[in-house]
Chains A and B, each alone.
Chain A
Amino acid sequence: MTLLLLFNITNGLIVGAFYVLMALGLSLILNLSNVINFAHGGFLVLGGYIAYAITPYVGFWGALLLAPPLTAVIGLIVERLLIRPLYGRDPLYGLLLTFGLAFMIEDGTRFIWGAQGKPVAIPAFLAQPLSSDLFFITWYRLFMVVVVIVAIALLFLLLRYTRLGIRIRAGTLDLETVAALGINVQKLRSLNFAVGIFLAGLSGVLAAGQLGLDPTMGTNLLMPSFIAIIVGGLGSLPGTLIGGLLIGVAAGLTSVFFPAASEAVMYIMMAVVLLARPRGLFGEEGIMS
C-alpha cells in the first residue's frame, strides 16, 4: 500500500508538471494582458497538429523544436489582429473572443486534419519504461518532466534577468508607469502573449507524443490548468507551479481510493482553497505581484 501511494505521488508530480507547463502560459497572459485565454487549449492542439504535420520532414526532434515557435507566431498574429483591439475593455470581451476562437481552432483542426485522431510516433527508446518496477516512468515522461523543468527555469530566468522579463513584471504591477517610461507597451504585451502561446504549443507537442492527437483534446487539458491557477493564486507564477503539482498529486492519490472521483477532487480542492483563502495559496506574493 505504501508503495502504491508512493507510486501515485510520483506519478501525480509527473502529471502535475504537465499541467504546470500549460497553466504557466495561461497565467502569463492573464497577468499582463488581463485576457482569460479560453483558446489556450486550442493553441495546445494546434501545436500538436503542427508537430504532426512537420514530423515527416523534420522528425520528432525537429518538430519538438519547430512546432512551439510556429504556434507562437500564430499566437502573435491572433494577438495583433483580434486581441489587441480589446485591451482596456471589460475582460469579458477578451473572454468571449477567445471562447469563440477555441471553437474555431477545434473545428479548423477537424476540417484540415479530420475528426479522426492521429497517431503520433515517438522515438522507440523513449517509449520504454525505466524498469519493470517503475513501469509508469517511461523515458518519454521523464524527458517531458526535464523539458518542463528547463522551460520553467528559462522562463523564470527570463523574467528575472532580461530586460523583457523585468518589463513584463513591471507591467504587471503598474502598466501606466512602464508606459510613461517610454516602453512600448503594445510590443510588450505581444511578446508576452507569444511566450504564453509558445508554452501552449510546447505542451501540445509533448501531449501528442504521450496521448495521441484529437481535435477535442484541448478542452480536457484546459480545465486542470485553470484550477491550477486558482488554487495557486492569481498573479503568482510560483503559485501556479505549486497549484499544478498539487492537483496532479491529489488526483493521483484519489484514484487509489475512489477512482471515479479523481477528477472531482480537483474541483473540491479549488472550492476548499477559495473558501479558506480566496486569493489562492500564493495569491499575495510571488514574483508577479
Chain B
Amino acid sequence: MATSLRPTRVDRRTILKTGAAVAAVQFASPYIIKARGETPIRIGMVDPITGAYAAIAQGEVAGAKFAAEEVNKKGGILGRQVELLIEDSANDVGTGVQKTRKLIDRDQVSFIIGDVNSGIAIAMAQVTSEKKVLHIVSGGHTDPITGTSCSWNVFRVCNSTAMDCNAIASTLIEKLGKKWYFLTPDYAYGHSVQSGFEKLLKAAGGTFAGSLVPIGTPDYSAYLIQAKAFSPQVLINIMGGGDQVSSLKQFVQFGLDKQMAVAGTLFELESIRAVPDAARVGWWTMEWWWDQPGVPHVAEFNAAMKKITGSAATARNWFGYTSVQTLAAIANQEKTLDAVPLARALAGFKLPPEIALQPGQPQYRAGDHQLMSTVFVGEAHPAQGDPDNMFAVRSPVPGEKAAGPVEDTGCKIQWPA
C-alpha cells in the first residue's frame, strides 16, 4: 500500500473544526427505524430511539407495538388493520418536527404519538394542531404540554411534572425533613420539577439550595461536594437517564446515603436496573408499576411484555401501550377518524380497566387533556425475589389529587371553529 511519509500536518484549525463537529454529533440523526406493511390505518410514532433517551424510548415503542398487535387481533380500528410507523427523533427538535411532518404529509397517518423529550413533544404539537391530527404525548413530562401550551388535539398519558412533585412532596416533608438540596438538570424538564418542588417546600416553611447541572456531565463529584457543604436532610435528584445513574452511583460511593436521604420524582425501572444494588435507594414516584396485586389485567400485561422484552413491564411500556390502545378505543367508539370529534370525545374519556391497568378508572381530564393516572410513591431497594422487584409502592396517590385543579395548570383549550 503506497503511503506518503509526509502527511499533511493536523493544524489547530482542523482541531477546532473537529471540536465543533464533536458537539454536533449529539444532534446528528444516525438512522431511521421503520415498520411498514400494507395496512390501512396508520399511527405515526416519533421517539428518540437513538441518543441519551434510547432505552426509555425503545420501551415505549415496545409497548406501542404490542398494543398494535392486540388491537389488530380484536379487529383493528373500524374493521381495518392498524399499522404503526416508527420514526427516530434522535432527541433533536428539528428532526422530530421534520419526521412528524413527513408522517402526516407523506405517510398519511391518522394519529401521532410522541415524544419522550418534552421540547420535541411541544414542537410536534404545533405541527399536529396545525394539521388537525389527534396527538398523544406518551412520555414527555413538562407542565406546559397540558398547561400553558395545551392544545385541543393533544392528550398526555405520562404525568405532568407537577403531578409527580405534588404526589411525593408531602411524604418527603413529613418523613425526611424540610432542608433540601436540588441536583437539577439544566433544561426545561429540570427547571420545571425544581420550581414545582420549591413552591411546595416554601409553603411548608422549608429551606433549600441547589445546583443546575449541564446535561451529559460525566462526573458529579463537584456538585456532591456543594451538596454536602449545605448539609441537607434530603438530596433531591432530578437528573434523568444516564445522568441520574452516574450521580446516584457517586452519591452512594461517597457514603452520602448515610448522611442524607435521597429522593426525587422519577427513578424509572430502566434506571434502577442500570445502577448496582448499593445505589437502589431513596424515595421516588413511579408512574406505573408492574406489581399491583389484585388489579385486573396487570399480571397478563406484565407477562406479555416479559415475553417480548425479557424483563418486567416498565412505565414506558405502559405509556406506549396505552397511547395506541386509547386511539383505537376512541376511534372505535366514535366510528370516525376525524380528529375534532375524536378529541371532543376523548376529553373526559375514562380508560377501561384492560387499558388503565391500575386502580380506578383514570380519565383524560376535559380541562387540560391530562390523563389522571395514579402516581405510585415508594422506595427503591435491591432486588428481592423477582429481579425486577426493586421498588416498594408505599402510597398510590390518585391522579386528580396529584394534579390539583385545572385552573392551576394555566391551560385554556381553544377548539377549532
Residues of A within 8 A of B (CB): 4, 7-8, 11-12, 14-15, 18, 30, 34, 36, 38, 84-85, 87-92, 95, 99, 102-103, 107, 110, 114-121, 127-129, 132, 135-136, 138, 140-141, 175-176, 179, 185-186, 207, 210-217, 219-224, 226-227, 229-230, 234, 251-252, 255-256, 259-260, 262-264, 274, 278-279
Task: Name the residue on A nearest B219 (C-beta).
Answer: A15
- CB within 8 Å of A: which of B117-133? none
One of A7, A91, A217, A263 near B10 (C-beta < 8 A) = A91
| Complex Cα–Cα for A34 and B253 (A) | 39
| Additional A-B contacts beyond A230-B12, A230-B15, A259-B223 (13; CB < 8 A) | A88-B5, A88-B7, A89-B7, A89-B8, A95-B18, A129-B255, A185-B3, A212-B246, A219-B22, A219-B25, A219-B216, A222-B22, A256-B226
Residue in A138, A210, A220 with the greatest tally of chain B CB atoms within 10 Å:
A220
B22/A210 in contact, CB under 8 A: no
| Complex Cα–Cα for A175 and B8 (A) | 12
One of A85, A121, A212, A234 near B274 (C-beta < 8 A) = A212
| Complex Cα–Cα for A69 and B10 (A) | 28
Q: Is B35 at the interface (CB under 8 A from chain A)? A: no
Q: Digitize B1-45: 1 where CB-to-A-CB distance is under 8 Å, 0 elsewhere.
A: 101111111101011101101110110101100000000000000
Task: Name the residue on A nearest B275 (C-beta).
Answer: A119
Q: Is B347 at the interface (CB under 8 A from chain A)? A: no
One of A4, A115, A129 near B229 (C-beta < 8 A) = A4
Chain A residues with CB under 8 A of B12: 230, 234, 274, 278-279
A8/B253 in contact, CB under 8 A: no
A175/B6 in contact, CB under 8 A: yes
Total interface residues on B, CB under 8 Å, equals 66
Chain A residues with CB under 8 A of B242: 117, 212, 214, 216-217
Chain A residues with CB under 8 A of B216: 219-220
Q: Is B72 at the interface (CB under 8 A from chain A)? A: no
Chain B residues with CB under 8 A of A90: 8
A211/B255 in contact, CB under 8 A: no
| Complex Cα–Cα for A240 and B112 (A) | 49
Of B48-56, B94-102, B168-176, B361-369, the segment with at least 4 beta carbons within 8 Å of chain A is: B48-56
Q: How far is the CB of B306 from chain A (nearest CB, A)?
A: 15
Known: A15-B222, A115-B54, A259-B211. Contact between A226 and B245, CB under 8 A?
A: no
A38/B4 in contact, CB under 8 A: no
B274/A15 in contact, CB under 8 A: no
Chain B residues with CB under 8 A of A84: 1, 3
B222/A251 in contact, CB under 8 A: yes
Residue in B10, B31, B226, B250 with the greatest tally of chain A CB atoms within 10 Å:
B10
Q: How far is the CB of A14 from chain B (nearest CB, A)?
A: 7
The 7 A-B residue pairs with the shortest CB-CB distance, nearest first, are A117-B274, A88-B4, A115-B54, A259-B211, A255-B222, A260-B212, A115-B55
| Complex Cα–Cα for A213 and B241 (A) | 12
Known: A84-B3, A92-B14, A223-B23. Contact between A127 and B253, CB under 8 A?
A: yes
**29 CB-based A-B contacts, threshold 8 Å:** A11-B221, A34-B10, A36-B10, A84-B1, A88-B4, A91-B8, A95-B21, A99-B21, A107-B50, A110-B54, A117-B241, A117-B245, A120-B276, A121-B276, A185-B5, A210-B219, A210-B250, A210-B253, A211-B250, A212-B274, A216-B52, A216-B242, A217-B218, A217-B242, A223-B23, A226-B15, A230-B19, A234-B10, A262-B222
Q: How far is the CB of B70 from chain A (nearest CB, A)?
A: 24
Q: How far is the CB of B178 from chain A (nearest CB, A)?
A: 22
Q: A-B contact count, CB below 8 Å?
A: 206
Chain A residues with CB under 8 A of B271: 117
Chain A residues with CB under 8 A of B333: none
Chain A residues with CB under 8 A of B277: 119, 121
Chain B residues with CB under 8 A of A34: 7-10
| Complex Cα–Cα for A36 and B19 (A) | 10
A87/B4 in contact, CB under 8 A: yes
One of B58, B226, B253, B259 near A138 (C-beta < 8 A) = B253
A91/B14 in contact, CB under 8 A: yes
| Complex Cα–Cα for A132 and B222 (A) | 16
Known: A127-B278, A260-B186. Contact between A115 and B58, CB under 8 A?
A: yes
Q: How far is the CB of B394 from chain A (nearest CB, A)?
A: 24
| Complex Cα–Cα for A92 and B18 (A) | 9
Chain A residues with CB under 8 A of B9: 34, 91
| Complex Cα–Cα for A279 and B12 (A) | 7
Q: How far is the CB of B226 from chain A (nearest CB, A)?
A: 6
B274/A255 in contact, CB under 8 A: no
One of A36, A95, A234, A263 near B217 (C-beta < 8 A) = A263
Chain A residues with CB under 8 A of B50: 107, 110
| Complex Cα–Cα for A77 and B245 (A) | 33
| Complex Cα–Cα for A197 and B19 (A) | 20
Known: A212-B245, A260-B186. Contact between A38 and B18, CB under 8 A?
A: yes
Q: How far is the CB of B266 from chain A (nearest CB, A)?
A: 15
B276/A252 in contact, CB under 8 A: no
Q: How far is the CB of A210 from chain B (nearest CB, A)?
A: 7
- CB within 8 Å of A: which of B215-273? 216-219, 221-226, 228-229, 241-242, 245-246, 249-250, 252-256, 259, 270-271, 273
Task: Name the residue on B nearest A219 (C-beta).
Answer: B25
Q: Is B413 at the interface (CB under 8 A from chain A)? A: no
One of B16, B30, B224 near A136 (C-beta < 8 A) = B224
